[in-house]
Structure 1
Amino acid sequence: MNRLGRFGSFNTLRNQIFLGFMLVMVIVLALVGFFVYNQVSVLLQNSAERHIQQTAVQAAGKLDASLKQVDTLSAQVSTNATVQRFLTQETEGQPISFSERQSLQQEVRKYEAYATGIRSMEIYTTDYRRLFPLDEGSLESRVPGEWIALADSGQGRLYWFGQDPKEPDLVIALRRIRLIDESFAHGGYLLVRMEKSYFDLTDTSAASDIREAMLLYDQAGHMIASNFHEDVDPAYILEREGETLTLGKEDYISVHKQSAATGWRIVMLTPVDYTTEGISVLRTSILVSGAVGALLFLVFSFILTTMITRPILQLIKAMRGARFGTLKPNKATSSTMEINELNNTYNQMVDSLNELIEVVYQKEIIQSRTELKALQAQINPHFLFNTLEAFYWALEEKGEEELAQVVVAMSGLFRYVINRKDEDEWVTIADELEHAERYLTIMKMRLLDRISWRIEADDRCRKIMIPKLLIQPLVENAILHGVEQKLEPGKVVLRVEPSAQPGYTRISVSDDGPGMDEEALAQLYEAMERGHSESSKGSGVGLANVGRRIGLYYSAEQGGLNALQVESRKGSGTTVSFEIPNDGKGEIR
């Protein structure tokens, strides 16, 4: 399957970047949403609690204002001139007549007409006898004695007791009447009976759509007013100030406020759902905002990952073209510096590979030229070897041992050169020295006393690997251009020794031929640089090919002119040398 076809797999760069971005976005949105939710929910809850407290304060203020009106009205009745006169008579021991009591009734009725919620006002003497209404009755039979004592301690202040013991629908307030003309002496009592509906606090809410319930209790825990839809236990309500109450199937927050004028307690019951209503809206808003943000980030992340991975996919497509034998640079560009750098690196690699392919091609050409004669001898190698073997046995029978040894040397020489197996491209230095020795043996047979030779090799260097047929051309060159150019006998010395540079081996071939002057030596280097063979007789591959092969098999710094070092002086002979690393086979670079 085409790897690009597996675009949907998780391990693609695009999906990993995309999922990474999404994971970071989800974490950021979750943290921001959690922080905002906590902070704003606390603010909303505090705001709701402040609103409830403010509503309770307003309700208490409304109650106090209503009580103030009744207090003012009762004070006016207490200070009325007729009321003051009749009560003064009573304290002086002059009971008022029935007609006077009727006139007193008319005075009180005038005040009752100006007030709302007042069921009646009753006036009593200091000895608790009732002057108004006109029926006979006493204050002691109307209210408990401790209430009378509290009114006496109030020094003329209106004292609110709460629910009427005899009529639960009414609320009682009592004040002591003080006689102004008698130095505010005790003159009697004024009893005010109020309708409970007067204390309905429903309209005190500033916001009519809020579902708060208001309950008003007196000091004894009797309910004075309530707009709650169910009957509740006063003890359960009053004992849990500031707590969350469960009434019916709903939870309520309880807020208490006490009236300074009466001591009565206002209880605000607010559904918990109301206080958390804004939090629910906030939670929904955060979730919707998070979903929209995640969707937008999803789209933008998809676009961004596409912009990042598209040039990479184009580069992969260009690299796959190498499977078909074509290495072409990728001309696509990107606005991202890293992608451009990757593309430039690939193009440089393509250029290097193309150069390397050319180098390998040149190596093959040189290798073919080097072994051209050997390839020609492969037409029928078995015939050649059998013929040489027949010569060897014929010479042995005739006692020509020297000639027989030459034939053996030629046979070994041909076998070494003709063998073209790929695994024999690299040989040890010992193998190369044996081949050079066979070649020198044959040359000794041809030149007789005109040549002498010597091979000096360090045993530590014999097992080092070296390209095949790298030393014999230098020996051949020394004989052709050194020994054969002299009239007197000549000498060839082949040396293999460790180099002064650690990890390298130095191989040199010296002759005592006529040598070269500086001009001829410069021409030789120039010819080596051009790649022309220096063999005038057409045998061997020449110094140029040896130098190029060394450069191809080892580093570029050893190639061409720098691979071989030629030292020569006119009349003093010539030495050709090169160095190779000891770490085994080289690699074409």
Structure 2
Amino acid sequence: MRNWLGRLNTLRNQIFIGFMLVMVIVLASAGLFTYDQVSVLLRNNAEKHIQQTAVQASGKLDELLRQIETFTAQVATNATIQRLMTKELSGKRISFEERQLMQQEVRKQEAYSTGIRSIELYTNDYRMLFPLTDVGLLDRVSPDWIGRANRAKGQLVWYGIDPSYPNVLVAMRQVRLIDQSFTASGYLMVQVDRKYFELTDTDAEFSGTDDMREAMGLIDDKGQVITSDFTSDVDVESILLQNQSSVEMKGNSYIAVQKRSELTGWRILILTPTEYATEGISVLRTAVIVSGAVGGLLFLVLTFILSIMITRPILRLIRAMRGARFGTLKPIPVTSSTMEINELNNTYNQMVVSLNEMIEVVYQKEIIQSKAELKALQAQINPHFLFNTLEAFYWALEDKDEEELAQLVVAMSGLFRYVISRPDEDEWVTLGDELDHAERYLKLMVMRMMDRLSWSIEVDESYRRVPIPKLLIQPLVENAILHGVEQRLGPGEVTLRVGASTREGFTRVEVIDNGPGMDVDKIHSLYAAMEQGRNQTSTKGSGVGIANVQQRLRLNYESATEGLEIRSEVGQGTTMAFEIPDDIWALK
């Protein structure tokens, strides 16, 4: 029984069962959540669409009303109309020719407007001035309408459908004289075609079928339908009285939206079938079910394939790792209950033991080899012969009073004594020793280059006691002279600067020249050469090179330093710098 359970407890079976359970939970949750959210979204979108249609229709209606308002205002304030109405108000009757002139002015304004059936102009005593008939204002409208126009004080008043002409809407305003402190001088009545207020372009009838989308109507403040695309069986009055967002007609449910015009009090009524607003929900339900079924089948197949794809490489890796015995890794705890993972962990830990042993051996060999290369460089010159020869030169120059040359020989002797150390000497020196060695080298280079080279060393005495590996600074100075000063047409300068770093507990060393500098590509190439351990900056020099400096910085300081930093621009010189900790022994 235990063996049978152990065979089932494999990584492939666990992946397959686990993924299937997750798939069922995820698909079910996602399907229910999607259906719920999208259903709400569809309903909200339908309602927003209807509300937006109502807002657009209301805006269109207000714009049409403003056009009539503007037109009548232009007629009422026309200079000729104002002059002739002033004459009438003063008690002087205008002549027939003046009435014709008034008619011409009105026609000019009417030519730029649409939907206007007629314009009528009356005096304060209700006599008609235009058109040229003898009909009075009281013959056209009731005293109540005139009273509303008086109370509006020059504003346009809409009365709705004209009882005498069912296809016409009537509006009226007082004509006020601008030059007479806006004194009322008469009345302006305009008749507008009902078709002017059609708010939709559709010709579809309100039949309640699936083809129906929206039906819209415009109703005045008395409940009369001004214009609509409703059919005759729609009880508009009942819908307005109910004032509900949902109405039932002939067994069908409709969403009713009303929008009231602030200018006239007219209302826009929009009816939309409820099933049209929610027609996408049934499609969504079918889509969710089909997607869940197809997704479940695909996930079942893909999970099985994925489980095989994961476990097969692991088994191959186990067989390969059993024969591997190199690398730098740490052991990992064996805590998994899966058979394959346990075997993989055991094999990995066995390999780690061997890898760590081999890495330690290789690391020690690298250190020994680096030291051997430095020793070989230092031993290229026979110390005994060299020192004896330099000493003979010194005494010979002293006898001939060549004090300057004698000091140069002393500097050269000190330079070689510093470079060529005995096997029992420590490779670590102080920063002061390194700076003294660099100073001796610069003095010798001044002898060779004469006035083409000037130099300076800037250092505070407190930094001279910082420990540093031997021969880290002089190769950078040599590089600055060879590739900086010597490449200039005129005199050059090398500055050796030692100071505090931005990092606490570190010292910064900079070697600066005013040579021709380098472009970005050259700097990148130089970094790449240093990382590979190659010194490609020149075929000149001692061969130590900045690549050797970079390697020794990394070897001696490890992660405590970032290695050499190179800053340069073409024509602006070059700066090579590095930062070292003040107390290397505290880091070890």
Bin the TM-score by the shorter chain.
Answer: 0.3 to 0.5
TM-score (norm 2): 0.45
Which is higher, the Rg of structure 1 or of structure 2?
1
Q: TM-score normalised to the size of structure 1?
A: 0.45
